[in-house]
Amino acid sequence: MDDLIYLDNGATSFPKPESVYAFMDKFYRNKGVSPGRSGYDLSIETGNLIEDARKSLTQYFNGKDPNRLIFSYNSTDALNLAINGLLKPGDHVITTQAEHNAVLRPLYHQSIYNEVQVDYIPLDKKGFVDPQDVISAFKPNTQLVVVNHGSNVIGTIQPVKEIGQICKKRGVTFLVDASQTAGKLSIDIEELNIDIIAFTGHKSLLGPTGIGGLYVKENVEIKHTRAGGTGVKSAQQHHLDEYPYRLEYGTLNTVGIAGLYAGLSWVLDKGIDTIHQHEMALTRKMLDGLNQIDNVITYCAEDLTDHIGVLSFNIKGFEAVNTGTILDGDYDIAVRTGLQCAPLVHKFLGTDKISGTVRIGFGPFNTHDHVDKAIEAIAEIALSYV
């Protein structure tokens, strides 16, 4: 394990900072009780940690009200809460080819079970959505626009500010999937004109799995699609309308929230720009190295403007899964292969027919040495197996 070169941070970040492990351990040993609900000191202290985490994430997204920062299991769960709680039969939704199944599948379900109409904006040849195409796609019944902030396949950052401006002008709700970008980029929902942002805790926010959430701006209301205990107003039959209870159900993942809180603190201490620059320097070096190897093809990475540290490639004539297996078995290098839960991106790339791509996702603990070793390994595979 010590020798493992982990390049699958697009799936989940690994390892986590030591401070995250230590904070979670200490928190759960000392404060692992039900938060806030029972009225004794320890329960209140646990509740306070959750409120601190809400405040910290709200501040990171430049939200105004920490109660509108709600916790869910992950961004898939958060996106389901938002999509299913916003749409009604007959609505129209605009989304993009860049989306993950966490958006595509809830929307598909809405289309078949709830008569919601969905349009998918294509990507241009560099992997970006053209905001003009969003304008052209509006219909009188457009209720929601959902856009992926940073692609988990090709790393492109979509022009969410421009798209948000367009939505704002039309009074249409704008939901952004920031699963890949939260913790990698500074995200100011005011500046970017975002109404709802979905995030996951276990990627670049450096927390554990099982925690994510939404920030829901004051101008938007999401219907309840679940109901249950909230720990307050227990005599009321209907699930609570007020945030955060409106979108939280049952006992929260307190240890996950503690880890997420510690992860975000680590990221902010290091500096988001510093981390991003480091990851982009590695991405640049990786791309330059891959471009030197005959038979290697990279996707949407001619230049790395408006990119995060996520890169897809293939060795020509060789299935992505085989490259991944050899990288793991012979070189102890972990990457992600296949469609990465984003089938429309692969349709756009034409890689849907060749079992997808090999994806490299950089994290803050990757080094230049990792890149050198990965390039060397890929060059050897490209030479000896093709």
Ligand X SMILES: Cc1ncc(COP(=O)(O)O)c(C=O)c1O
Task: Decide: 71 and 252 in contact? Cβ < 8 Å.
Answer: yes
Token pair 């501040």 is at which residue?
Answer: 59
The active-site residue, picked from 341, 352, 354, 373, is 341
Cβ neighbours of residue 228 closer than 8 Å, sequence gap 6 or more: 239, 249, 250
Q: Does 200 bind ligand X (CB under 6 A)?
A: yes
Cβ neighbours of residue 274 closer than 8 Å, sequence gap 6 or more: none
Give whichever of 36 and 150 is closer to ligand X, judged by the CB atom: 150
Q: Does 102 bind ligand X (CB under 6 A)?
A: yes
Among 31, 54, 68, 100, the residue binding ligand X under the rule CB under 6 A is 100
Give whichever of 197 and 315 is closer to ligand X, judged by the CB atom: 197
Closest CB 182 distance from ligand X, rounded Å: 10
Among 97, 110, 179, 323, the residue binding ligand X under the rule CB under 6 A is 179
Give whichever of 156 and 180 is closer to ligand X, judged by the CB atom: 180
**CA dihedral sign of residues 14, 77, 260, 220:** positive
Closest CB 275 distance from ligand X, rounded Å: 18
DSSP symbol at 186: -
* Span near ligand X by CB under 6 A; candidates 173-181, 249-257, 321-329, 377-385: 173-181
Q: What is the full DSSP assignment across 56-67?
A: HHHHHTT-S-GG
Residue among 100, 81, 80, 114 at smallest CA distance from 11: 100
Greatest distance between any 2 Cα atoms in the chain = 70
Closest CB 271 distance from ligand X, rounded Å: 23
* Span near ligand X by CB under 6 A; candidates 51-59, 70-78, 214-222, 284-292: 70-78
Task: Decide: 270 and 283 in contact? Cβ < 8 Å.
Answer: no
- Over the window 113 to 152, marking each residue x when it contacts ligand X by CB under 6 A and - when it does not, the resulting string is -----------------------------------x---x
- Can you count the helices (H) and strands (E) in the chain? 11, 13
Give whichever of 102 and 247 is closer to ligand X, judged by the CB atom: 102
| Count of residues in contact with ligand X, rule CB under 6 A | 14
Closest CB 164 distance from ligand X, rounded Å: 17
3-state secondary structure of 279: helix
Question: Which token pair is 8?
Answer: 């699958």
* Span near ligand X by CB under 6 A; candidates 72-80, 115-123, 241-249, 361-369: 72-80
Whole-angstrom Cα Rg for the chain: 21
Active site residue 300: no
Task: Give the pairing of strands 333-334 and 212-216.
Answer: unpaired
By CB under 6 A, what part of segment 339-368 binds ligand X?
Answer: 341
The catalytic residue positions are 341
Residues that bind ligand X (CB under 6 A): 74-76, 100, 102, 148, 152, 177, 179-180, 200, 202, 212, 341
